[in-house]
Structure 1
């Protein structure tokens, strides 16, 4: 598309967009268009029908493009972006040795820049919504909120509500009043914010007292918000819970009354059949993070079994890499390797499963299903314009499968959030992305130098030298 088209897309609206096709829940619909006004989809339907019902609007023709919902990252850690390859090749539970020390070394500026850098990467990868699971940085949460708002991405912003030592435990019977007070204020703080949606978080179940888990879950449920908790991710965490409570982490959350539609269980890779039943019966949502499983996990979440059992779930990056298409491909690939090959399942979700859970299912999992995730009248206009004339997609016989298997962020021409053009060919439209990256490089070096990060393995270059040393 040429610069004049960009100018039309950047106009305040209303916009009548006419792509080659629109990706609807039932699949790609040729000859369809959308009308965007006041940040939402005003109308979605056949172009000829939209011309009759909106005769005052001139359509913006978008040849060679698919209009599709933006991806939803159901699990992110925005203030960990300075770490990047520090975690590569490391064993599980790196949060103790890498992420917590790194975040605690952040000041206000570095936390803002780290979060905005992560938001930029997310937008470049087609994510219009990210769910942040909370930061350990000693900064006001508005620092992170401002970073995502300024970047132009929608954010479900978690406030960490830990009040126990996740190793030694805390046997106090009552919840910490200060934690509950902060949680209450956080939920109220972002009421009515167009892009930031408050959420509560507990790092892992053992990081909060039983009463706190119960009370935090109740606060979130009453506010229509989510509680984000890393659950059944690593063997060490499951074993600690068994020794401390006689129950696995998910079972412990059920006993204290924390499960339900308000809970977003991150990872959930180590599940028994009984725990799958608990998830299905309580309506608890899961963030399936396949890249995180490959990079530093103990197992792959049984996402196909979740889909079969009706468990709500979205796809999350866990801050690994911000490319929605590669995440969808990883979701299918991980299921094929972990479960499909052994059972002879050559479909493994038939492509559409992973697109759906990367968009509509992800929005539902993070508590925004009534607001975004689908191209539908009345929902927020969070969408992508994808160039389908590239060699990877031009000859497609099955576009949903092709998007999962062969799509990538280079094919994204434009990213819209709340009806506004936020990214054009990978670059922000309203702020200087290159300047942010340059500043992030400076701050990241200083932050990592002062953070007490402990790695189990050397860098790849050092490892190669060791392997080739005489």
Structure 2
């Protein structure tokens, strides 16, 4: 039986050269995949003895590791991509809102499916979608997630600023319906979101947080991302965005705060004491931010942290590299911290700690018995890892998505050598090109930065 066939079987016993267990690459282990879960994990000989009817699949020069978890994504923004490059911060007003408002149901579905494909190709088996602004709702997103086969924490947006009591009451009803919906395939996990604290009343902030707390779901909010958003909040509410949440009694362990790049010592204490989680988005800071979140300081304070792309680029290895690099440049170099968390910190945030931040710590993020078999098979026989001295560090700084041989979500082979096994990705890409051209042409997008072909060049 060849490897691809073996990975597609309902029950498979894998014996990779290395298995990543809690950020430590361990040799001589075997992993049994059954019914979409890791059914057994342990010393290879012992696991083989417990399952004499199965022939182990030897995987020399390969690493089996948990799939990456993207704790902050916007699945409906994949049509924009480079339209946002070189732009000032808060591009949502000039690019994302106009674009999403001009996506019909098909475009919404294709955009989300394209984003899910990109995520899977980058090693992400789970993404947290922060809520769409499209009037077409979540059905297209749900279909895209199921068809692509990625795990998704899917938020319903609950903004009520400027709405009357009847409209606010309807938002709460829809939120309750979203949280109570049953998803038999196990890939969709309901969440609620408010875009930014000022987009909702104190009453709605408190109600949404309480609903999520009661349902065991995460409450997603963009928080303290840009200077402009902090100033607007101070003018409108007399408080910084994080302080607005605290005042509204909406700051608790159910919170998944995206960005938190500009936080005061007092706000760090609030995050720590509340048990809230933060999605650290280093590439977003690099491309369009005013600051880099003090992730190492947060980590040292015991604040729960995961890594997020913010829909920038879906590549788990490059995300870990960016996370470590940003901390080294902004906080490590000045104080002689040459380790800046070391490889294991960023591996944890990209996998197990990220799953915890997303409210899925009991579902995914680690290779352990009973958890969903969301995993990557990594080819280690590459020049970049030859010789290999410290694989934990090397995965953060040297590995790349081209080494991902297989992507499994809930035990099912979703991608083989970068492409889906059971649907036509290239047909999707062709349709995405057509729909994106139509949507961008119709949307009143305002760009400040000229495209590369039109930008003036310095005279020689």
Range into which the TM-score falls when normalised by the shorter chain? over 0.9
By how many angstroms is 1:26 displaced?
5.2
In structure 2, how many angstroms separate the alpha carbons of the residues matched to 1:281 and 1:402?
34
Root-mean-square deviation (CA), in Å? 1.4
The equivalent of 1:134 in structure 2 is 131
Residue in structure 1 matching 2:380, options 388, 398, 401 = 388
In structure 1, how many angstroms separate the alpha carbons of the residues matched to 2:165 and 2:417?
54
The equivalent of 1:199 in structure 2 is 191
Secondary structure of 1:351's counterpart equals helix
The equivalent of 2:81 in structure 1 is 84
In structure 2, how many angstroms separate the alpha carbons of the residues matched to 1:155 and 1:107?
21
Relative to structure 1, the CA distance from residue 244 to residue 163 in structure 2 (aligned partners, 3 Å threshold; closer, same or farther) is same
Contact 2:123 2:407 in 1 (8 A): yes
Secondary structure of 1:18's counterpart equals strand
The equivalent of 1:153 in structure 2 is 150
Is 1:347 aligned with 2:344? no
Provide, for residues 256-305 of structure 1, a one-character-per-residue CA deviation record: whole Å limited to 9, x for no partner: 01111111000000011111111110000000000000000010000000
Is 1:417 aligned with 2:414? no
Is 1:283 aligned with 2:281? no
User: How is 1:6-405 mapped onto 2 (pairs within 5 angstroms)?
Assistant: 6-11=4-9, 13-25=10-22, 27-164=24-161, 176-405=168-397
In structure 2, how many angstroms separate the alpha carbons of the residues matched to 1:330 and 1:32?
31
The equivalent of 1:467 in structure 2 is 457
The equivalent of 1:407 in structure 2 is 399
By how many angstroms is 1:5 displaced?
1.4
In structure 1, how many angstroms separate the alpha carbons of the residues matched to 2:381 and 2:182?
41
By how many angstroms is 1:343 displaced?
1.2
By how many angstroms is 1:144 displaced?
0.2
In structure 1, how many angstroms separate the alpha carbons of the residues matched to 2:321 and 2:271?
25
Secondary structure of 2:263's counterpart equals coil
Unaligned ranges ≥5, structure 2: none
Segments of 4+ moved more than 6 angstroms: 172-175
The equivalent of 2:422 in structure 1 is 430
Contact 2:23 2:344 in 1 (8 A): no
How many residues align structurally? 460
Is 1:451 aligned with 2:443? yes
Contact 1:174 1:209 in 2 (8 A): no
By how many angstroms is 1:394 displaced?
3.1
Provide, for residues 390-421 of structure 1, a one-character-per-residue CA deviation record: whole Å limited to 9, x for no partner: 11113110001000001110000000000000
Provide, for residues 285-333 of structure 1, a one-character-per-residue CA deviation record: whole Å limited to 9, x for no partner: 0000000000000100000001101100100000000100000000000
Secondary structure of 1:21's counterpart equals strand
Contact 1:163 1:207 in 2 (8 A): yes
Secondary structure of 2:133's counterpart equals coil
Unaligned ranges ≥5, structure 1: none
TM-score, structure 1 length as denominator?
0.96
Contact 1:261 1:282 in 2 (8 A): yes
In structure 1, how many angstroms separate the alpha carbons of the residues matched to 2:67 and 2:124?
6
Contact 2:71 2:306 in 1 (8 A): yes
Relative to structure 1, the CA distance from residue 26 to residue 74 in structure 2 (aligned partners, 3 Å threshold; closer, same or farther) is closer
Secondary structure of 1:183's counterpart equals helix
